[in-house]
A and B are shown apart, each in its own frame.
Chain A
């Protein structure tokens, strides 16, 4: 029961620790995302390039467990392409009639295959640090897409006087500045089929768009519906105001 008291006192002092941890991180600059604003939509090209970046760079360590291959039709891939992508993955399934687990090629209905069997395996392979799942990353961080873009482009050589421990890296936007993930993007690290030049900024931007979609796949439907609902409500409210005026004017006379 002593633990309970510790938890509460911990919460009482948490704030002070918080300010220490977050003190040195910069606030990432706001970017002009196509999905911002009243009419925001995703750029299909950026989504597909972003998927490629995720697939070739991030997927080695980071899962995307809430997204299924079938969802990729929403970023503009055809069903054939999605089937091919799914089939290229190996999925563990079972048990079969003999009670054995077995491996098969993926289907569009499968969720993205996780890079590690479990959390411990992920930590063991990554110097003790756990690479978090990216499905909701953009929603789960203050600053959202701007933060993610900032993080991917915010790696620097160590700043004056900052000692960097073994296996850690300096990032100006990461809370506390010391991050266990090495800079994942390198210039021309991948080759885009649409001939877009794969600069670090370009790749960071594309994968941020892709991960904004995985976090909020409903965003386009939400904004399209929102406009209609707002227009309807504004007209309705205007009419109700006119009726209200009219009804009450009888009273005044």
Chain B
């Protein structure tokens, strides 16, 4: 690691003993980055910024929040009414959770399209999946804290999933609750864990970035960088590009925070939790809907495994198989741009995930199209769940063998120069304005 050319003597003194300036110079300034990254590569740093925002707003909220079944709901309303700008902090935190998931979902689908999970980035990808799992746990725990009707009943339904485990299921649920129902002990530990997990996420994010900086970013062409012609320093090129992306994100985010803060939430959560009254329709937050659809789609027993247990297994497997994705897709070509068949099925998967989300938001017994009573959401859910697993477990291994990829360019620089010498118009930048 070469030393930075620092002129400031204090900086030099510090850097000699603790090379933080050298580190920043290497990882944030010089860090060589493929020059053809498109705007889909903005979402990683964006996710990091939202994570920090969530932690900062969350810490302020925790200063005013009371994790007790008798006071939790009212303490949140106190934040909304009596704490200076409390409504702003809470709405940023609330909508920040949704924004975090939108960003991370786009980030993941970017990885799927451009094959960012393939060698040598398997561990980078697996750490990312771990972050998604931690985020889901954190979001679930956080949604319980305001202690509204959906908080309480969502917690009841989700913790009850563990009772599907044979023999030890019910003791586990009692252990999770710290009692015989979702009650004060549950709320207290959920608050404690909701405070803890974001810092665990930060830890995994650090590992994610270390893994990223080991081999550098993948790129839209999906081939390794071959030399300095292919790379540019992170600063100023990507710092300014990421800042511009952040600006666009903040405009959209502000529209939600200031003008539709409860659009993505459920009205029932403004009713205080009542263990004696079940809401007519228990639905999770929107980002859980596809998984919720998979959970409910298994309605049949297989041998000794009952439908409920299978549903839980399917739901966890839907994320679990992302861990082994680098070994399911054996195609040596990373980017879907050079994979004519995979490219099409990728979009089928995207549509499939949207359909799963729609199924999760609807009652299983309702007809999908009015007037066509025989075709209910449960059927659509089963079909789209089946496709989800078919895509990863059968199609990807199969395509690795039968698909004939298009010829790859020799370097990242080559298609750029071949495209008329204007890098901004290169095929690597479908989203960029000319």
Contact = CB atoms under 8 A, between A and B. Distances in A.
For A215, A218, A251, the residue with the greatest tally of chain B CB atoms inside 10 Å of its CB is: A218
B173 interface: yes
B428 to A, nearest CB: 13
Nearest to A10: B278
Nearest to A224: B258
Given A22-B280, A66-B81, A141 B241 contact: no
Interface string B41-83: 0000000000000000000000000000000001001001100
Nearest to A20: B280
A105 interface: no
A181 to B, nearest CB: 17
A83 interface: no
Contacts of A229: 254, 258
B163 interface: yes
A160 interface: no
B244 A237 contact: yes
A252 B362 CA distance: 50
B422 A252 contact: yes
A236 B247 contact: yes
In which size bucket is the chain A interface?
Answer: 35 or more
Contact of B281 (A18, A132, A141, A218): A18
B190 interface: no
Interface string B403-434: 00000000000000000001110000000000
Interface string A119-152: 0000000000000100110011110100000000
A144 B265 CA distance: 13
Interface stretch (B93-101, B202-210, B232-240): B232-240
B74 A140 contact: no
Given A222-B87, A225-B88, A244 B244 contact: yes
B348 interface: no
The 9 closest A-B pairs by CB, nearest first: A226-B258, A15-B363, A237-B247, A140-B270, A240-B244, A218-B87, A18-B280, A139-B270, A18-B281
Interface of A: 1, 4-5, 7-8, 10-12, 14-19, 21-22, 38, 66, 71, 132, 135-136, 139-142, 144, 175, 215, 217-218, 221-223, 225-226, 229-230, 233-234, 236-237, 240-241, 243-244, 247-248, 251-252
27 contacts: A4-B170, A7-B157, A12-B296, A14-B278, A14-B280, A14-B281, A21-B280, A22-B280, A136-B77, A136-B271, A141-B267, A175-B280, A222-B88, A223-B258, A226-B258, A230-B254, A230-B258, A233-B250, A233-B251, A236-B247, A237-B244, A237-B251, A241-B244, A243-B240, A244-B244, A248-B240, A248-B241
